[in-house]
Structure 1
Amino acid sequence: MHDTDGPGDAVADAYALGSGEWAMAPVARGALGQIWKLTRKHAPNGLSGGPAWAVKELLFDGDEEQVLREAALRDAAEGLGIASPRLLPDRAGAYLTRLGGSPDGPCVKLYEWVEGARADASDPELLSWCGRTLAVLHRAGADTAGTPGPWYERCPSPAEWAGLHARVRRAGVPWGDALGRFVASSAGELARHVTASVADGVPAAGADVVMSHLDVQPQNVLVGPHGPVLLDWDNAGPTSAGRELAQVVFVWSGGNDFHAGSARRLVRAYREAGGRPVLKGLDSFSMLFATTLNYVHVQAECAIDPTVTPALREFASGQVVASLRNLPDPTAVARLAECLETAW
């Protein structure tokens, strides 16, 4: 879609928002979609402004079952006090809408618009909020059966990395040599710390598989007039509660240059809010290493895929470069795990 009147009118019609002229403006771009702000060009009183909505244009085909999981978890979490934008159904009651009546039309979701400032991960109150929120999410999803997906449990094999690197070299992208160095060194080192938390659908020791958000990071939190609001529930699904906690602590406490006090504060808030898993060593961070490896792999594949748009290839190339510069360091992660032993 483009910043024009037509798409806005199509969204407004699909969701029965009312007649009039509508416009959309780009707001943010993520790995899965583009966020647009939808507004009426003129409010009913003839003035500009009025209500706004957030339109998420999916860059890849949407999954109706996944969107239903997202809606169910978001609604359950709201009942437990977690603020988040409502996911709105279209005229037919569906949460995933294909515009234009064509199989090739844009696939969108519609949310309430939320005003707020980007979360500051160094704010002690926000760190406590994050720990409490994650514990509440895990309680909300505790009774939902499921097996974590391979994105969170497995990573590419050496043969898959070698094949990808060969294709990248043939494509002649400027980061090809950097990917080659990564494949020859860090990829294998990180992969050693990736282990499945379930076997044959049976939870491993701890039995801590829950339905959760799976993307609780500062850029998915806005701080509004009534407090923090959690955004972007697209990845909602089954996970190991302990492994999600470990990844969230790593991200919110500063990554490889983590602040021990921030990490302990988040974990203590999680425990005080009823979170049960305990982090023990590098095994707890398996999900962090798996998602890092899978993200580099899938973005590198997209960056050389001739069937996607040039804009998607350009975005994917930037993501590969940024990811290779910010890989989790197992030595730093081990220090983080050690410091958290005193947080229990």
Structure 2
Amino acid sequence: MTAREHYLVSLEADHSGRWDRVCQRFELGAPVSATLVGRRSHQMWRLTTDRGSYAIKELDPAATGGDRRWLQDAAELEAAAHIAGVPVARRVFTSDGAAVLPVAPHPTGDVLVAVHHWISDAHLPTRVSGRMVADLGVALARLHGLGMSTRFSQPVGMWEMPTEAELDAVVEEAVARQLVWAAQLHRAKPAIRLIREMLQARHACNYRMIRTHRDVTQHNVVVSKDHLLLLDWDVAGPWSAAEELAATVAEWTEILEDQPRKDLAADLLRGYAAAGGTLPAPEPGLFTTWLVKQVNWTMLLARRSLDASCAQAEPPNDLDHLMRRLRRAPERLPVLLDLLAGNGPGEPG
């Protein structure tokens, strides 16, 4: 049985004893019901007790490595961000301050759970507006204003990328299986090579690292009572404020899509500056680690697609789209630099 199969089997097991333990350790009350509400990289449950409802996230150790110290640091940042006025879902800690609880063994590390208060009216944004991204800019400035120190001197996880040989092996296997995305990944190789060269140059830079969210994408934001909430802090860790701001501009303008929303950049930067954030001088290196993230995420999904045991593989057409986006990433850099400099189109929204 592969590690992935072991994890998925464990999730199908009877959870009744597990919920008793979670409720006891996090002091949630007596469990009444549990409903599976999401299953992708991790598994999400809505747990109802005699005291209320809670979001229980079962963390796949294949994705987290079961690194409790990393997850504890991330949770403490999330709690500090809440106090600083960053809109987040309220985190629940155990009485002794633990943010995650082991609930099942696993070959690559324990299956861990994290707990938040359930937000009944939360939903993904149906339309991204200028006002929304301005509010996001305010939240990001408040987060960066914390300046929480980190034990890392470089952005771990965005500091490495697949070698040429590893990339070739994935392409060859995809071609042999006649997968729909194989040709697109092959065509993306020059872009990936250029990003690898950019990463080598980034290694010589010395941006100041802080503890921050590191994944401020549209997938990690919900709307509740007409306000944004920033979710999914599991990968929070070391990054520079300037690089995260640059990445957020790239993500929220959808710069890699066929019709990017360039007008939103000005609103995002306006909100960030209004809340005391420092706007960086634009330079290509600020986007390097974001580009590395695009490569690493695409390659992770490609490997999952090749893994017959992976029940959560990305649909082939979605992977094909991701690889088309990756191909155009380096050519969009001049546009991104203009947007970060405030030269792109945009009206207050």
TM class by smaller structure = 0.7 to 0.9
Structure 1 segments unaligned to the other structure (5+ residues): 44-49
Q: Please give the secondary structure, in 1, of the residue aligned with 2:243.
A: helix
Q: Distance in 2 between matches of 1:329 and 1:156?
A: 17
Q: CA deviation at 1:236?
A: 0.8
Residue 133 (1) aligns with residue 132 (2): no
Matched letter for residue 114 of structure 2: K
Corresponding residue of 2:54? 53
Q: 1:319 to 1:108 in 2, by over 3 A?
A: farther
Q: Distance in 1 between matches of 2:48 and 2:321?
A: 33
Residue 107 (1) aligns with residue 112 (2): yes
Report the TM-score when normalising by structure 1: 0.81
Q: Distance in 2 between matches of 1:342 and 1:234?
A: 31
Q: Distance in 2 between matches of 1:53 and 1:265?
A: 34
Q: 1:321 to 1:90 in 2, by over 3 A?
A: farther
Out of 13, 17, 37, the residue aligned to residue 28 of structure 2 is 17
Out of 176, 183, 193, the residue aligned to residue 182 of structure 2 is 176
Corresponding residue of 2:271? 269
Q: Please give the secondary structure, in 2, of the residue aligned with 1:246.
A: helix
Q: CA deviation at 1:13?
A: 4.4
Matched letter for residue 12 of structure 1: C
Corresponding residue of 2:280? 278
Q: 1:188 to 1:275 in 2, by over 3 A?
A: same
8 Å contact from structure 1 (residues 195, 283) kept in 2: no
Matched letter for residue 147 of structure 2: G
Q: Distance in 2 between matches of 1:243 and 1:88?
A: 30
Residue 75 (1) aligns with residue 79 (2): yes
8 Å contact from structure 1 (residues 148, 239) kept in 2: yes
Report the TM-score when normalising by structure 2: 0.80
Q: CA deviation at 1:63?
A: 1.2
Q: 1:331 to 1:103 in 2, by over 3 A?
A: closer
Q: CA deviation at 1:322?
A: 4.2
8 Å contact from structure 2 (residues 131, 267) kept in 1: no
Q: How does 1:22-41 map to 2 (within 5 A)?
A: 22-26=33-37, 28-31=38-41, 33-40=42-49
Q: Distance in 1 between matches of 2:26 and 2:203?
A: 40
Q: How does 1:1-344 map to 2 (within 5 A)?
A: 1-2=11-12, 6=16, 8-9=19-20, 11-26=22-37, 28-31=38-41, 33-40=42-49, 51-60=52-61, 61-90=65-94, 93-100=97-104, 102-103=105-106, 106-114=111-119, 115-119=121-125, 122-169=128-175, 173-183=179-189, 185-195=190-200, 197=202, 199=204, 204=206, 207-225=207-225, 227-256=227-256, 257-305=259-307, 309-312=309-312, 314-315=313-314, 320-327=319-326, 328-342=328-342
Is the deviation greater in 66-75 or in 257-266?
257-266
Q: Distance in 2 between matches of 1:107 and 1:322?
A: 32
Matched letter for residue 325 of structure 2: N
Matched letter for residue 75 of structure 2: A
Q: Please give the secondary structure, in 1, of the residue aligned with 2:342.
A: helix
Q: CA deviation at 1:286?
A: 0.7
1:113-149 deviation per Cα after TM superposition (whole angstroms, max 9, x unaligned): 1232323563122111111111111111354453233
8 Å contact from structure 2 (residues 87, 139) kept in 1: no
Q: 1:134 to 1:20 in 2, by over 3 A?
A: closer
Q: Please give the secondary structure, in 2, of the residue aligned with 1:280.
A: coil
Corresponding residue of 2:3? none
Q: Distance in 2 between matches of 1:68 and 1:318?
A: 36
Q: 1:264 to 1:13 in 2, by over 3 A?
A: same
Query: Identity of paired residues, percent?
Result: 24
Q: CA RMSD in A?
A: 3.0
Q: Distance in 2 between matches of 1:80 and 1:142?
A: 12
Is the deviation greater in 314-323 or in 222-231?
314-323
8 Å contact from structure 1 (residues 131, 270) kept in 2: yes
Q: CA deviation at 1:222?
A: 1.8
Greater relative contact order: 1 or 2 (C-alpha under 8 angstroms, separation 6 or more)?
Answer: 2
Q: 1:250 to 1:305 in 2, by over 3 A?
A: same
Q: Distance in 2 between matches of 1:149 and 1:160?
A: 22
1:26-63 deviation per Cα after TM superposition (whole angstroms, max 9, x unaligned): 2x3443x12221124xx5xxxxxx72111111122421
Q: 1:168 to 1:224 in 2, by over 3 A?
A: same
Q: 1:225 to 1:13 in 2, by over 3 A?
A: same
Q: CA deviation at 1:335?
A: 1.4
Q: Distance in 2 between matches of 1:11 and 1:316?
A: 34
Q: CA deviation at 1:283?
A: 2.2
Q: CA deviation at 1:187?
A: 2.1
Q: Please give the secondary structure, in 2, of the residue aligned with 1:118.
A: coil
